[in-house]
Amino acid sequence: MNVLSEDLRQTTGTPTQPSEAETDDWWKTFELNDAALPQEVRSQFPILSRVLGDDTDPKPLIYLDSAATSQKPNFVIDALTSYYTSTNSNVHRGAHKLSRDATSQYEAARTTVAKLVNAKREEIVFTSGATEAINLVAYSWGRQHLKEGDEVITTVCEHHSNIVPWQMVCKERGAKLRYMGIVSGETTGDVLDVDALEGLLSPRTKLVTFQHVSNVLGATHPLEAMVATIRSYNPNIKILIDACQSVPHMPVDVQTLNIDFLAASGHKLCGPTGIGFLWGREELLNSMDPFMGGGEMIMDVYQQESSYAPAPGRFEAGTPAIAQAIGMGAAVEYIQEIGMERIHAYEVELAGYLVKRMESVEGVRILGPSGGAERAALVAFVTEGVHPSDLSTFLDMEGIAIRAGHHCCQVLHRELGYSHSARASLYFYNTKEDVDFFIEKLVETLDFFRNIGNGDDSI
């Protein structure tokens, strides 16, 4: 696969942040360091050329919702089509040519995903997504190891998929779920209260789990420092990382993180929906009971008992999501061809530009870290007098797709004092022009509602 020219693959650039604005129109002359990246790839994403509206009022799609799901390049779409038109067969159980080919492609995808996070292929369990991956740990590991009085530590920043499973298994086992909070300040913005972690750890702590990157705050949590605190207190405490918002956007190496489990989804890294993966240490996975029973995950089955296959097979009961796994493997090949370092550098730069533009919009409160802190390429925000759903609806009429709601983070929104927020999230296929058009229409929409509130009958 040749996604990019050789020259562009070698050009990662240095991420830059927009300098302090000297004039109100500073952004008109601001140039991204690696503006060539989205121009190279956009034509490979068919949906990005879609025009909404009608012939009399066409609206080119401006997709700013990649934190919810990314768009898919032709390379992934072609991999799915090729599987269904030339290889479709069940895996592992057939000696015929189609089955052998399907098995080869399915297992090759596992190897590709393993390379993405620098893992052994035996440590990659295919799941329906990150939600199932986290549930797998909660029920398979949690039911074996949590007992009455034990504690699991998480954070108020978590996606519901990393809260609800732990609520359920803790209730079942008589364990307690404890939370790290957030701190908010004028100079720091809204950030995870990392200093609280040490005080929460106790002899009863059995597992700590948290996001690598917040899907609301846009903050990259200090994973290395947090892991060091946990390991220095008790090296036997298990650590699970939700990497849904980091694996698609930056290099992630499980060998250097010193953690035990990592969950990620395929649809956020240009892959299909309905597929994700769990990484776990091989010896730990093989010590865990299966999450579900059925075909494929067994060694031998007798009338009263069964023996189980080694990982990852013991956690992949039944016919797997074959096409989706192959599609995720293709997506990983695609983003690796571009280069994770280059993707990360570009997104840091684009995120800095988005934040700088939004800081100048009257009536907008940006959620997350401030003071020039490096952010992920997403911004959740609230506005004075305009509900996020109304804002999203009006922007949609201009062809701009953003997310509105609690983003599966009701706990965090309550901590912040809001029920909902709007969120614009970017990927490497977004451009400076996407951001500029979004800001233009955001300002227009807020002015519209502001004038309504002032009783302006001329609008």
Strand partners, 300: 307
Q: How many helices (H) and strands (E) does the chain have?
A: 16, 19
Residue 7 identity (one-letter amino acid): D
d(CA 245, CA 452): 38
SS3 content of the chain, % helix, strand, coil (to 5): 40, 20, 40
Residue 279 φ then ψ, to 5°: -100, 135
| Tokens at 216, concatenated | 């609301």
Taking a C-beta distance cutoff of 8 angstroms, is the pair 151, 202 a contact? yes
Among residues 157, 170, 408, 409, the one annotated as catalytic is 408
Question: What's the distance, Cα to Cα, between the start and end of the chain in Å?
Answer: 52
Q: Residue 126: how many CB atoms within 10 A of its CB?
A: 24
| Tokens at 297, concatenated | 């995950």
d(CA 342, CA 428): 9
Omega of the bond leading into 312 within 30 degrees of 0 (cis): yes
Catalytic annotation on 244? no
Strand partners, 182: 192
What single-letter DSSP state applies at residue 163?
T
Residue 344: name the closest of 253, 215, 271, 246 by CA: 246
What residue has token string 């949906």?
Answer: 47
Residue 24 identity (one-letter amino acid): D
What residue has token string 């068919």?
Answer: 46
Residue 64: name the closest of 376, 406, 446, 377 by CA: 377
Taking a C-beta distance cutoff of 8 angstroms, is the pair 168, 199 a contact? no
d(CA 269, CA 249): 8
Between the alpha carbon of residue 437 and those of residues 273, 300, 327, 394, 444, the distances in Å are 29, 60, 32, 14, 11
- Catalytic residue list: 408
